[in-house]
Chain A
Amino acid sequence: MNLRIIVLAKQVPDTRNVGKDAMTPEGTVNRAALPAIFNPDDMNALEQALRLKEQNPGTSVGILTMGPPRAAELIRQGLYRGADTGWLLTDRLFAGADTLATSYALATAIKKIGGADIIIGGRQAIDGDTAQVGPQVAQKLGLSQVTYAEEILDCKDGRLTIRRHIDGGTETVSAPMPCLITVNGTAAPCRPANAKLVMKFKRASCPSERVALPVKPGTPGRDDSYDYLYDSREWLNLTQWSVADIDGDPQQCGLAGSPTKVMAVQNIVFQAKESKSLSDSDADIEWLVKELRDEKIIG
C-alpha cells in the first residue's frame, strides 16, 4: 500500500540538558544557551512513520516543520533516517505563534501539500508541553485522531490498529485513514542516522538557510564552494514556504493569530502529595466524592 505520511516536527531547546544559563533573569527560556534539537516525542513519531514505510513499499514520508531557517536541520535529520522529503514553514509572519496559530499554519500547509493518509507527530514538545497542536490540526482538517500512541500495530483495508498508552496500561484502538496520530515518549526510540543518507543529504538546505550560513574564516562572504551542486542535485534543495506560499491568512498566523498572551512566568515548587489509587467500588467512589467536596473542588 502506498501511504503518504506527514511527520509534524518541532525544533526545541534541549530542556533536558539544562545548564545554569538556561533561564534569563526575566524568567524566559534563554534559547542561545540551549542547543536546538529535534523534539524527542517527534523522533518517536518519525520512527513509527519509517516503520510503516518499511512495511509498505512505495510509501513516502515527509517532515513538516515551522520555525526559523535553522529549523531545516529537522528535515535533514529526517532525511538522514529515511524520510523522502520535507517542508519548512518559515516567515516572519509565522513568528510568535501559540498553539492555535501553529495548528492553523500546519493544517493550511497540509492542504497545500494535498493531504496525507497519516499525519503523525509527537504527543507534545518539551518546550511548551501543551500537547495541543496535534489534536488541533486534526480538528481543523476534520480527521480522526489517536493520541498517546505507542505503536502502530497494523495497517490494512484503510484502517490502522494502534496501541495507546493510558494511565496504568495500554489500550488498542482501530482508526480509519486518513487520521492524525500523536505519539507518546514511551514509544520505540528513533533509529540512528544512516551513513549513506547522511553523505547524500549533508548539504541539503533551504534557500534562506544558505543565505544565513556562517562566514568561512579568511574568505570574503560565506563558504559557497559547494553552491554549484544545488543546480545538478535536486535532492539538496529543501522546500521552504512562506505564509503566501501556502495561501495562508496572515491574520491567523503568528502573533496576529494567537489569542494566548503570556502575562507572567513564575517559578513554582510543586507541593506534591502522595497519590492514591482508587478502584471502581462504591466505597472508593464515595470516598472520592467526599474528598473532592471537602477540598472545595466540587460544590
Chain B
Amino acid sequence: MANYFTDNPELEFHLHHPLMKRIVELRERGFADKDSYPEAPVDFEDAIENYKQVLSIVGDITANIVEPNSEAVDQEGPHLVDGRMHYASKTYENLEATRKAGLWGVSMPRRYGGLNMPITPYSMASEMMSEADAGFQNVWSLQDCVETLYAFGSEEQRQKYIPRVCAGETMSMDLTEPDAGSDLQRVMLKATYNAEEDQWYLNGVKRFITNGDSDIHLVLARSEEGTHDGRGLSMFIYDKRNGGVTVRHIENKLGIHGSPTCELVYKNAKAELCGQTRLGLIKYVMSLMNGARLGIGAQSVGLMQAAYNEGLAYARERAQFDKKIILFPAVYDMLSRMKAKIDAGRSILYMTSRYVDIYKTLEDIARERPLTAEERAEQKKYSRLADALTPITKGMTSEFANQNAYDAIQIHGGSGFIMEYKSQRLYRDARILSIYEGTTQLQVVAALRYITNGTYSKEIEELLASEVPSSLAGAKASLAKAAEELNASIEKVKSFGDQEVTDFLGRRLFQMTGMTLMGLLLLSDAARCEELFAGSARIFAGLAAETAAGHSAFIASFDPALLPDLRAE
C-alpha cells in the first residue's frame, strides 16, 4: 500500500536532525506526562518513534483516502445552501478519516486533548496532506489557528475551545475584507461592546475567507470606534454554535476547489475578545500569519512532490522516438531540477520549523516559569532566525511549486493540457500559493530588512564554514561564489541609498539569498546523508550559482535613472 511517509524517506531524515533532541526535551518538559497519559513518550527515542508512527498514519490516509478523493473534490467543489457552506461530498470522507485518526489539535498540550507534537512533524503531516490534495490541506491545517488561541486566549477560552478542535472541529481566520487584503490595517468589521450584557457583537462583511463556514473563527475587527489604522483592531473568537454569521457567497476559483473561500456576513454575531483590545493586528495576527506562512511552505513542498510524482511517472511510461522520454536530457533536466527544488524546499521548511519549535516552546515555558538567562538568549536567537527564514521559506517554495507544476505539464506534452490528467489540477492549485498569506512581493518586503542588516549573510557565512565530504566540494564552491556575488549585490544596492531602488531590486536580492541559503542548507543535509541528497545538492548549487550570476549582473549594471520611466502612472 502506498504511504506518503514511508515512500519519501527524505521526511524521516528531517525528523532525525540534531536539533530535534532539544525540541523534544523542551516540548515534553522532562517527560513529565509519562505517568499521567498512556500515550506520552518516556524518553527522546520514544518520542521520535511516536512521531514516526503518527506520520505513518498520515502517510496512509493521505495516499489511500485523500488523494483518491482529490479529483472528485476538485470537480464537485463546495456548495452554498441557505447561507451555509457544504463541502464537496468526498471532503466529508477526508475529514472523517482525519478525525477517526485523531489528527486534530496535533500541537496542543495533552491536557486539552492534543497530541503535544512539535511543529516540525506537524509540518510534515501538512506537507503530505498537500501532496494528496492542496485544497484539503487548507481545511485540515487551519487547525493551527488554535496556536494563536492557545497563546493569547484566557484559560477559560482554552478549556472551552481547544478540546473541541482536538476532537476535529474546524477553524478559520477571518481577516480580509473587500477593501482590506494585503493591507489589513483597513479592516472595518465592527466590534461593539454591550456593557449591560458584558458581550461583544460583530457586524460587517469578511471576504476571501478560507474555510469560512468553520466551527470556530478567529476574527479581526475594529473595536475602537473612530480609529483607522491597525491599532484600533482586536481579535475575537466567534463560535458557530452561537449563530449570527451567514455565508453570502462562495468564490469560484481557479484551483484548490477543496478549500471553500467564503464571503461572510456578520449580523450582531456574539463574539469573545481574545487577548487584549488593540493588539489584534499588531501582535496576534502577526503571530497567526507567521504560522500560516510556514503552513503554505509545507503546502508548497507537498504540491512540488505531487507534481514531481506525476512528471516522473509519465516520463517513465511515455516512449517517443523508440525510447522512454525520461532518457532524453531535456526531460531529465526538468526532473532533476524539480527534485532538487523539493529537497532544498524541505531543507529550509524543516529548518524553519525547528527554529519555530524552539522559540515557541520556550515562549510557552515562560508562561509557566521564568526562563533562565541562557534560555532567554536561546529563545531570542531562534525567534529571530524563524522570523527571518519564514518569508524565504514561503516565498521561495511557493514559487518553486508553480515551477514544478509548470514542468510537470511540460513533461506530459499535449496530454498535460488535457483535463483528464492530474497535472492540470496541480498547475491550477499551485497558482494561489504565491499569492495568499502574503504575496511573494510581500515576502520580499519582509525579507529585505534581514537582507540589508546582514542576518542572512551571517547564516550563510556560518554554513559555509562547515566541512563537507570531498564529493560535495564542487557544490560548496559554487555556493561560496554565489554568496560573494550576493554580498556584492547587497552592497551595490545599499550604495544607491534610495528605498525605491532597494524595493525595485528587492526581488533579485531575495532570490539570490533564497537560492544560496537553501543550497547551503541542502548541502549540509547532503553532508549528513549523501545517499538521499548529494545529487540534488549538486544540481541546486548550480541553480543557485546561475541565479546569483544573472541577478548580480543585472544589479551591477543597474541605472537608478531608469526608474522614473518605468513607473506606469
Residues of A that sit less than 8 Å from B by CB: 17, 191-200, 202, 225-226, 229, 233, 235
Contact = CB atoms under 8 A, between A and B. Distances in A.
B57 A191 contact: no
B97 A192 contact: yes
B7 to A, nearest CB: 15
Given A191-B100, A192-B100, A192-B101, A198 B57 contact: yes
Contacts of A225: 45
A196 B102 contact: yes
A193 B101 contact: yes
B97 A195 contact: no
Interface in B40-62: 40-42, 45-46, 49-50, 53-54, 57, 60-61
Contact of A195 (B41, B49, B115): B115
B73 interface: no
Contacts of B100: 191-192, 194
Given A198-B54, A202-B49, A191 B39 contact: no
B167 to A, nearest CB: 12
5 contacts: A17-B1, A192-B61, A199-B40, A200-B38, A226-B46
B97 A196 contact: no
Contacts of A235: 38
Contacts of A196: 39, 102, 115
Contact of B39 (A17, A193, A199, A226): A199
A202 to B, nearest CB: 6
Contacts of B101: 191-195
Interface of B: 1, 38-42, 45-46, 49-50, 53-54, 57, 60-61, 65, 97, 100-103, 106, 115
Contacts of B115: 195-196, 199
B48 to A, nearest CB: 12
B324 to A, nearest CB: 22
A202 B42 contact: no
A44 B46 CA distance: 31
Which of A191, A192, A200, A229 is the most central at the interface, judged by chain B CB atoms within 10 Å of its CB? A192
Contacts of B1: 17
A195 B60 CA distance: 12
Contacts of A200: 38-39
A195 B50 CA distance: 9
A194 B61 CA distance: 11
B293 to A, nearest CB: 25
Contacts of A202: 49-50, 53
B38 A192 contact: no
B102 A191 contact: no
Contacts of A193: 57, 60, 101
A195 B38 contact: no
A83 B39 CA distance: 16
A192 B57 contact: yes
A254 to B, nearest CB: 32
A192 B94 CA distance: 11
Contacts of B38: 199-200, 233, 235
A229 B102 contact: no
Contacts of A229: 42
B46 A191 contact: no
A194 B100 CA distance: 6
Contact of B60 (A17, A192, A233): A192
- Closest CB pairs A-B (n = 6): A199-B39, A195-B102, A191-B100, A192-B101, A200-B38, A196-B39
A17 B60 CA distance: 16
A195 B46 contact: no
A99 to B, nearest CB: 28
A225 B46 CA distance: 11
Contacts of B41: 199
Nearest to B46: A226
Contacts of A199: 38-41, 50, 53-54, 115
Contacts of A233: 38
A225 B53 CA distance: 19
B538 to A, nearest CB: 31
Nearest to A232: B35
A194 B102 contact: yes
A225 B49 CA distance: 14
Nearest to A82: B100
A235 B41 CA distance: 15
Contact of A198 (B40, B46, B53): B53
Given A17-B1, A199-B54, A202-B53, 11 more contacts: A191-B100, A192-B60, A193-B57, A194-B57, A195-B53, A195-B101, A195-B115, A197-B39, A198-B53, A198-B54, A198-B57
A198 to B, nearest CB: 5
Nearest to A81: B100
Contacts of B54: 195, 198-199
A48 to B, nearest CB: 14
Given A202-B49, A202-B53, A195 B42 contact: no
A70 B1 CA distance: 20
Contacts of A198: 50, 53-54, 57
Contacts of A197: 39, 102
B126 to A, nearest CB: 15
Contacts of B42: 226, 229
| Most B-side CB within 10 Å, residue of A196, A198, A233, A235 | A196
B97 A191 contact: yes
Contacts of B106: 195
